[in-house]
Chains A and B, each alone.
Chain A
């Protein structure tokens, strides 16, 4: 198992009756560049989405460095669900009997103009609470308890493998249809990628505690460095929406890198780039691998794929039909038939 940065085991994704991925298995070694190719509609992006937790796979498992990106069920989760259930139970009980309880607790014992005796209030509350009939008291409280804790658990289990959890295990990605924060500046875009690594919270941001300033400064410097790495430093204060297509792709890569990923998934990074930009991109991807990042990419541009990939997997109709080094794939008749021959006739 060691050495595999990303292991996909029998991943199947179905949307209703449509099977987007059928039992796809891949093993992607560490520090390598791995390409996933295939004709349009072959399920490449769906596979990426399943890997990054955008949609949960119908079947199959995804392991990053031997572990699933999924929050564990532990005592804290159960305790939180119980607490929420308890609160909603108490809430149900109080709101069903709000007026009676209020009157007995605060109105009856309170004599206008005199200090309030809290003990009397408490006695009043207990007395009134005891008189509440079962159907108005214990029953709604139990219903509240069940609804509260079940809702909490259901919501939690729905989000335990979400894409934020995957991102936090060190997996970053870009999108086929570039998804930048267009009204934010370049620096801010990169800073969002860095967000989950920041340690200061709401109160230190509000009160501007010293550690907040230190962290903010460091984050900003790091993001400017990343912008320089992708060659966009000079435009750092501009809105991301003002960038050209090729530059947007690069900014997306910089944003993904900001999370300091161990695995980087690039969805068609070369789409819409000119030959010059593509050779720059190839350099960029190689330098990423040399920094120790495992790069997985979806790409249609064969020169790029054949030029930099260590291994290639070919998908068709949602299934993997071949896998191997660029040479092996190039010589595999099924692949040529399915994709290469039809597309560019790579020799």
Chain B
């Protein structure tokens, strides 16, 4: 049992997520968290994108939230009825993926030669620029207002039987299934890339750029592909985020803090590990939008909360707890909760067959 979990933590976690709504049925109402878990899933997709760029390829990207913003606004413009496009949820989601990839490509192409800190600074700047552009291009983005209302996805939803219809905002369980399904597809895609020569090239560039170039790897292309893939996943998460709120919200929803949060997720989970991304977003986002909220509710119930004393609100303790947790993490388990492991598929070995080596 333990061995199975160790060998395939990603699948185990997704299966647990699959079983959770059933578990919730027997739990008291206080422990119902499926509605908030969709935020965890959405941020897991964002962190998955960052993991491709920073985890696999080793390009420190401090502006991943910019791509989330681009995804959210692209999705908003494509679906909101104050714009002429209104192409519907699924086509817009697909287009958002493409737009995100193009944005990643556009940022990557001129900056891909930069190394380490320099690239980090450029991506940091890009994050700020995108926010400013979104704020100031009022004719297109509605400025601080954000774009709303956004239509909900049309999909097979529960509630009065499983039917094909538009989700409502309060349709927590259906949102849960939808985001979980999209996350699972993303996880599958990233795992497949990771375990192919594409992922190998990404990781080899992280490990030793000079050596991988000397092995004939076109480093610039490899990096660009990672950038575009990561940006495209981040844009997808932005689109889902906006759709689940029915509004893109103001541009500062996608500020530097979001980029850092995504970075914390992959550091806590284990840089370069897909399973780590999942556990990291559960820990970080789960703490932020589930644990703190529930604790606040509970304190209100027992009468410990007070509006006059700022220390009585657990939300005000958030960054202290985050900070302490990160320091402890880096001190005692710097490789993350679920660091990447070396995988081997001996099933494919039949080495005595002749002719394989040219």
A residues with a Cβ closer than 8 A to B are 52, 54, 98-100, 102-103, 106-107, 109-110, 112-113, 116, 121, 151, 155, 159, 162-164, 167-168, 172-173, 175, 179-185, 187-188, 191-193, 195-196, 198, 200, 202, 205-206, 208, 212, 216-222, 224-226, 228, 233, 236-239, 255-256, 258-260
Contact = CB atoms under 8 A, between A and B. Distances in A.
A220 B200 CA distance: 13
A38 to B, nearest CB: 22
Given A112-B81, A116-B84, A205-B192, A192 B200 contact: yes
B351 interface: yes
A222 B81 contact: no
Given A218-B356, A221-B350, A163 B192 contact: no
A184 B342 contact: yes
B3 interface: no
B320 interface: no
Q: Which of B139, B220, B353 has the most CB of A within 10 A?
A: B139
A72 to B, nearest CB: 16
Interface residues of B, number: 49
B214 A167 contact: yes
Contacts of B18: none
The secondary structure that dominates the A interface is helix
A219 to B, nearest CB: 8
Contact of A259 (B113, B139, B216): B216
B217 A196 contact: yes
Contact of A221 (B197, B201, B210, B351): B351
B68 interface: no
A183 B206 CA distance: 10
Contact of A181 (B208, B219, B344, B345): B208
Contact of B357 (A185, A200, A225): A225
B198 A102 contact: no
26 contacts: A98-B137, A102-B139, A103-B139, A112-B82, A155-B113, A159-B220, A162-B213, A164-B216, A167-B215, A175-B211, A181-B211, A184-B200, A185-B342, A191-B200, A192-B215, A196-B217, A202-B198, A205-B196, A216-B197, A219-B197, A221-B349, A225-B351, A225-B357, A236-B344, A238-B342, A259-B216
B207 interface: yes
Interface in B35-93: 81-85
B197 A205 contact: yes
B140 interface: yes
A237 B219 CA distance: 25
Contact of A113 (B81, B207, B211, B348): B81
A107 B142 CA distance: 12
B147 interface: no
B208 A222 contact: no
A259 B217 CA distance: 11
B356 A225 contact: yes
Contact of B342 (A219, A222, A239): A239
